[in-house]
Amino acid sequence: MGMSPSGLVGFGVLGPLEATLDGVPIDIGSPKQRAVLAMLLINANQPVTPDRLIDAIWGDHPPESALATLQVYISNLRKAIEPRREARTPARVLQKNGAGYQLAVTADQVDALEFEALLDKATGAADSASGQARGLLKKALSLWRGAPYGDFTYEEFTRVEISRLQELRLEAEELRFAIELREGHSADLVADLESLVDQYPLRERLWAHLMLALYRSGRQADALRAYRRCEEMLADMGISPGEELRDLELAILDQDASLAAPPKPLTAAKQDLAPVVGRKDERERFEALLAETATGTGSVVIVEGEAGAGKTKLLETFRQIARSRGVVTAFARCVEVGGTPPFWPWAQITRELGAERLAAMAGAQAGYLTPLLPGMAQTSTAPLFRVAEALAQSLKKVAADGPVALFIDDLYSSDPDSLSLLALLAAEIGSSPIVIVGSHRGRDSQAATPLQSILAELNRLPWAHRIALPRLDESEVADLIEHVTSQEPSRELARSVFEATEGNAFFAVELIKLLESKKGIDLTLASSVIPTTVLDVVTKRLGTISTEALEVIRCGAVLGREFDLKIVAEALGYDRAPSLAAIDDAAATGFVSETNQPGRFRFSHVIVVNGILHGLGSLRRSQLHLDVANVMERRFGADPPRWVEIAHHRVESIRIDGASEAIRARARAGDHAYRSNAMELAEDLFQRRHSLIVDEPPSHERDQLEIASLFDLGRVWSWREGFHSPRLREAAQRLWDLTGISSGDPVLDPGDDIDEMHPVLASFQARFSVETVSGNVRATLDIGQRLLELASRYPDPMVVYAANQAAMIAWLHAGQIREAIGAADKCREALTTLDPDKSRGIMLPLGQQPAWITFHSFAGWLYWLAGDPERARAELDEAWRLTTELDNPFVAGFAATIRGVVAVMSTVAPDLDETRSWSRKAAGGSAAVDRWLRLHEIWIESARGGDPAEAARAIESALDALEEDSTRVNHTLYRGLVAELALAAGDPEWALRSAASGISHAWETGEMFWCPELERLAGEAHRRMGRDDESHEALERARTLAADLGVTAITARLGATVEP
């Protein structure tokens, strides 16, 4: 897979199946779920029916639940490959197409498709542009990681595709060898060809390539032996070599001139990988100074910039500009390592200009130059100013024939004498056509050095100039990428490299080269990729500082890009004075500098931080994280915003401290994020904590931790995805297993307190909520009954409340109104015991919303169905009063949905405008409730006089989308609404279809509470169609059901007539 722009999913099948998002590998689930993806990839951009998928996965013996399981696999894959897709928006990649599923991808998203496209292009270019074809083939073959669909080698559904891809690969190899041979290569191909003919002995084209490569390598006998091997192998099969091989054998025997290798084409010099990008102003400024030499004016130019800013490259460019104008140039580089002789940069300058020539020009002063002239005895003891005078005299004589430009790179590494000589010489050249250009790191190094005083002297010269190099901007980084790769980069790639390197030219070039060599790398996390050249620079510079300073830098890197020296000092056990001395020493590396906040320091680049960490052993790094975590816990343990940071350090210290503290820290940080409505962060922290837990050895303690972890994840998933979430269903089942519910009674003792009971209640609540939203009323009745039995044995008020609330909701949906009212009374009694003044914030066992608000909302709906509108109004008003005291959109959305149902069905509830206002305020807080709010928005608009037909169509569309997500709760209610709107629109046939759909659902699932109303609407539809007998029968069924169920509100509606 190629480098993916942000948000792009990629698939790899030329090896074991893999998927990436933005270049990062993603988990695509169990083997069977992976098989679904493999089948879709084999048929990319074509619909695949569920039957074909089931056949591929399970063969001739699929389980009864195969279709449901397949739908779960599809849902999981969609979440994995499009995690940022907003709820209710169509899938872009794994699409529903007609009666099947289709993976919509482009060639650059699937390595097999990309390989085929590159092979097609290479084949087309092979004759006319062999160089281009060779490059395309190289790229195509580099996509292969092993056998195609490597983890499905023995599956029947992959057999044909694997064979097809292997054949294409061999075609690509054969074409590559043909081009290489055509371009004059031979000996370097033999080893690869020998390997291939051994693997694929029946491919005569490979034998032909091997014979020709051997012949051209001066191995005529081996070429003929290769033919004999092929001939013998085919003879065993009763056949002979083909005409091409036979003709080639004869040509070799005749030493035919046509077999001679063609001359290899001349190749251009490799393009410079580190161009000067941007820097237009700097180049123009240098050219202007160079032009002034024509008037006999000299100048000194100091180029300054941080390490990696591109100073060396700019000096080299300046030199090229000077040479192009006929200027005599010399270039010297100072080095950071010790052991270089004095005046080393000047010795390089004199060598390039000609040491003997300069000595001759110095005349009587030549002796003063001996320290600068390589190969000459350095016997001079003259003062340095005499050396400068002699050198100036020689340079001026050279410049008499034309301008001279001297370049000295990395002045900060120069010896003090060389710097002093620079200052003295600079003072001599103001009226001569001589330009001296030097570079240094500017403010990157803050310590006082000999260079700082020399620069101060140079600043006083009228002909001295400074050129500061800023970092590259994003557009300049894009230009840099294009130069290095010869391809225009995507905006995402340019931004990723820019953000990772922050515009540092050296880091950018090295990272680009690394990205180019490692296809499919994660661009959004490119700052974690560390080129070895950068590591070398970091290691080299760290070797120049004290042990204490090194420890400060390492501990600071553990804290991140920016760090507090007090935390570092406390973690290392340093007193104030030693820590200050150490940070001063560390600052001399140029890696760190003080920020505007006293005591806080910042690294120059993120990539430097990663380089420092890379050089630490894993145990040492873990120990530093542990030391930092302990310090931060002491300082910030009571400060929730710092808990995520503390959790990070706890996790990184697991190798030293074990996982228990890391698990606890992530739980604490995740809970704070959840309570702050930062649900994405909460989910990430809870997921990472869960991963730590399941990696622990099996034990009772681990089971308890996993229960708590699934409980927390369930809270988030119920918020973000709704109770129809497949992940919540899986978590609920796992909770049942862990708490013993699935095997019978929960693992509890009669003496257990409510803390021990809480996981059991949460497990029941999670499963109950999943089944409720899925419309499985019979399952909710069973769960409610089991909870009531549990409450009879453990009569704790919390257990009694949870059991009766579940029973109330289950009986409400089942239409057993009398039983539901009885449960509501017990629920109210238990809640009053737990929280008499409604101030304690008692939550549902799953913890996603307050118990009193949930109770009052459902009780309001229940009493409206029971025909007690005044009491219903009182319950709903109380629910909303409590809701308005919270700043929680999930809770507000929940309360608004139930209030909205009653508002549009009864004039007792608040008016429609107020209800719509509640819904709109709650919208956007949670995807789990937004779908219901949208339904109620449509409903309210129709009730206020909107177009009923348009509203009915919109609700049907919304219901279809909900059913696709297995969300079928209140299906009867909404089908009834469509029927009522259809009648209002004058379409009784439509109304009858919708009512019949709702009635069928009611009897199928047990959701009976609205069945009497559906029968009433069916009766009205029959009446309008002139079917009096059918109308009478439907209305009788409605009366009987309403009376049996106790749904008095429907009984009252039976006397109403819906006007056409």
Q: How does pLDDT run across 111-129, given as a tens digit for each residue? A: 999 999 988 888 887 776 6
Cβ pair 209, 244 in contact under 8 A: no
Q: What integer pLDDT is reported at residue 1019 of this predicted model? A: 93
446 shares a domain with 480 = no
Q: How many domains does the chain have?
A: 4
Q: How far is Cα of residue 1019 from the mean position of the Cα atoms in its chain?
A: 56
Kindly write down the DSSP assignment for every residue of 741-761, as one continuous string: STTSS-S--TT--HHHHHHHH
**What burial letters (b/e) apply to 107-129, b meaning 16+ CB within 10 Å?**
ebbbbbbbbbebbebbeebbeee
Supply the angle between the helices 797-814 and 817-834 in degrees, to the nearest 10.
160
463 shares a domain with 494 = no
458 shares a domain with 486 = no
490 shares a domain with 455 = no
Token representation of residue 630: 């302990």
Terminal Cα distance for the chain, rounded: 61
Of 833, 782, 777, give the one whose Cα is nearest residue 803. Answer: 782
Burial of 254 (0-12, 13-18, 19+ CB in 10 A): exposed
Q: What mean pLDDT is predicted for residues 359-388?
A: 72
The DSSP element (H or E) to which 139 belongs, if any, is helix 130-142
Q: How far apart are CA 347 and CA 340, in angstroms?
A: 11
Q: What percentage of residues in the chain have a pLDDT greater than 70?
A: 82
Q: How far is Cα of residue 808 from the mean position of the Cα atoms in its chain?
A: 44
Q: What integer pLDDT is reported at residue 751 of this predicted model? A: 46
Q: Could you tell me the pTM of the whole model? A: 0.52
485 shares a domain with 385 = no
Domain contains 378: yes
Q: What integer pLDDT is reported at residue 675 of this predicted model? A: 74
Q: Which amino acid is at 138?
A: K
Q: What mean pLDDT is predicted for residues 438-446?
A: 66
* Domain end among 848, 874, 902: 848
Using the Cα atoms of residue 268, residue 272, residue 273 and residue 275 in order, give the sign of their dihedral: negative
Domain contains 429: yes
Q: H helices then E strands: how many in the chain? A: 47, 13
* Domain end among 183, 203, 236: 183
Domain contains 373: yes
Token representation of residue 146: 């092993």
Q: How far apart are CA 523 and CA 49, in angstroms?
A: 35
Q: What's the CATH code of the domain at 419?
A: 3.40.50.300
444 shares a domain with 510 = no
The residue written with tokens 């079917």 in the block is: 1027
Q: How far apart are CA 858 and CA 969, in angstroms?
A: 14
The DSSP element (H or E) to which 833 belongs, if any, is helix 817-834
Token representation of residue 600: 């806080």
Give the CB-side neighbour count of residue 964, counting CA atoms within 13 A. Answer: 16
Q: How far apart are CA 679 and CA 720, in angstroms?
A: 7
Domain contains 462: yes
Domain contains 75: yes
503 shares a domain with 406 = no
Q: How far apart are CA 484 and CA 98, in angstroms?
A: 46
- Report DSSP state, residue 158: G
Token representation of residue 184: 């004059």
The residue written with tokens 């050129």 in the block is: 467
- Segments in 64-110 forming alpha helices (H): 66-81
Mean pLDDT of the chain: 80
Domain contains 171: yes
- Mapped onto helix, strand or coil, the DSSP state of residue 231 is helix
Number of Cβ within 10 Å of residue 243's Cβ equals 9
457 shares a domain with 333 = yes
Strands 18-21 and 24-25: antiparallel
Number of Cβ within 10 Å of residue 473's Cβ equals 13
What is the phi/psi pair of residue 398, to 5°? Answer: -65, -40
Q: How far apart are CA 741 and CA 743, in angstroms?
A: 5
484 shares a domain with 402 = no
Number of Cβ within 10 Å of residue 652's Cβ equals 21
Instruction: Kindly indicate the confidence band of residue 97, based on its pLDDT and cuts at 50, 70 and 90.
Output: confident
Residue 264 has pLDDT above 90, yes or no: no
Domain contains 131: yes
Q: What's the CATH code of the domain at 7?
A: 1.10.10.10
Using the Cα atoms of residue 927, residue 931, residue 934 and residue 939 in order, give the sign of their dihedral: negative
pLDDT tens per residue across span 489-506: 778 788 877 877 777 777
Lowest-pLDDT choice from 380-389, 443-452, 648-657: 443-452
Residue 301 has pLDDT above 80, yes or no: yes
What is the phi/psi pair of residue 677, to 5°? Answer: 65, 20
Q: What mean pLDDT is predicted for residues 991-1013?
A: 91
486 shares a domain with 406 = no
493 shares a domain with 444 = no
Q: Which domain holds residue 758?
A: 707-848
Lowest-pLDDT choice from 28-37, 723-732, 934-943, 1046-1055: 934-943
* Domain end among 828, 848, 868: 848
Q: How far apart are CA 937 and CA 981, in angstroms?
A: 14
521 shares a domain with 505 = yes
Q: What's the CATH code of the domain at 759?
A: 1.25.40
Domain contains 302: yes
